């Protein structure tokens, strides 16, 4: 049976937003201020969406989320600089305070409207600065984009 939880008024450093989380199983650790969500995890905050097999959220003493760690079939849809991105990887770490996603192992990022695609070992997406960084230390990083040859012919 699917369990549906609605977290109201969870504040990030930038603004208050409603977070909706659905999962198959919840394990709450009140002592260590962690919650683990197992099976078909879907987290929606505003226009951002995270899906994974397992997500662990670390909280501060005021029960505000500090960090999300996702593993297994990780996929995220985010808005940055008014552009929509889709990303996935084997693992994801989202730092709430820095508003930064770090995807590792088989990391992939695509700007939806332009079909720009980036592959790497680690991709860091910083929503505050509107930047992303790709590390290809194990395998070369790859950047794929389209060029409009018609514009070049008109020169």
Q: What is the SS3 assignment for 45-110?
A: ECCEEEEEEEEEEEECCCCCEEEEEEEEEEEEEEEECCEEEEEEEEEEEEECCCCEEEEEEEEEEE
pLDDT of amino acid 15: 45
pLDDT band at residue 132, thresholds of 50, 70 and 90? confident
Residue 1 has pLDDT above 80, yes or no: no
Q: In terms of C-beta distances under 8 Å and separation of at least 24 residues, what long-range contacts does 83-86 make, across chains too?
A: 83/111, 83/112, 83/113, 84/47, 84/111, 84/112, 84/113, 85/109, 85/110, 85/111, 85/112, 85/125, 86/110, 86/112
Which residue would you say has higher pLDDT here, 89 or 12? 89
Q: What is the pTM of this model?
A: 0.78
In a domain, 152, yes or no: no
Residue 95 belongs to a domain:
yes
At 7 the pLDDT is 34
Residue 38 lies in a domain: yes
With respect to residue 46, please indicate whether it lies within any of the assigned structural domains.
yes
In-domain check, residue 137: yes
Is residue 153 situated within a structural domain?
Answer: no
- Total count of domains within the chain: 1
Q: Is residue 155 part of a domain?
A: no
- For 93-107, the pLDDT digits (tens) are 999 999 999 999 889
Alpha-carbon dihedral sign for residues 28, 34, 19, 75: negative
* pLDDT at 85 (0 to 100): 93
pLDDT of residue 135: 81
CATH number for the domain that contains residue 47: 2.60.450.10
For position 58, what pLDDT does the model report? 97
Please give the structure tokens belonging to residue 106: 């088989």
* Residues of the domain holding 44: 3-147
Predicted confidence at residue 35, as pLDDT, reads: 96
Q: Quick: pLDDT tens for 57-82.
A: 999 999 899 999 999 999 999 988 88
Q: What is the pLDDT of residue 4?
A: 36
Contacts of 108 (CB under 8 A, 6+ apart): 87, 88, 89, 117, 118, 119, 123
- The reply to whether 29 falls in a domain is yes
For residue range 6-53, list pLDDT tens digits in order: 332 333 333 457 889 999 999 999 999 999 999 999 999 888 999 999
């Amino acid at each position: 049976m699917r369990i549906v939880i609605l977290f109201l008024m969870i504040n990030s450093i930038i603004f208050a937003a409603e977070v909706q989380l659905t999962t198959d199983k919840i394990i709450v650790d009140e002592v260590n201020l962690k919650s683990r969500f197992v099976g078909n995890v879907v987290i929606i905050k505003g226009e951002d969406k995270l899906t994974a097999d397992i997500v662990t959220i670390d909280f501060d003493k005021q029960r505000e989320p500090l960090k999300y760690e996702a593993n297994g079939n990780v996929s995220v849809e985010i808005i940055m600089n008014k552009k929509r991105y889709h990303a996935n990887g084997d693992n994801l770490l989202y730092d709430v305070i820095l508003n930064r996603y770090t995807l590792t192992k088989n990391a992939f990022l695509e700007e939806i409207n332009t079909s720009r695609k980036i592959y790497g070992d680690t991709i860091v997406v910083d929503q505050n600065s509107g930047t992303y960084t790709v590390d290809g230390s194990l395998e070369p990083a790859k950047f794929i984009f389209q060029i409009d040859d018609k514009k070049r012919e008109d020169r």
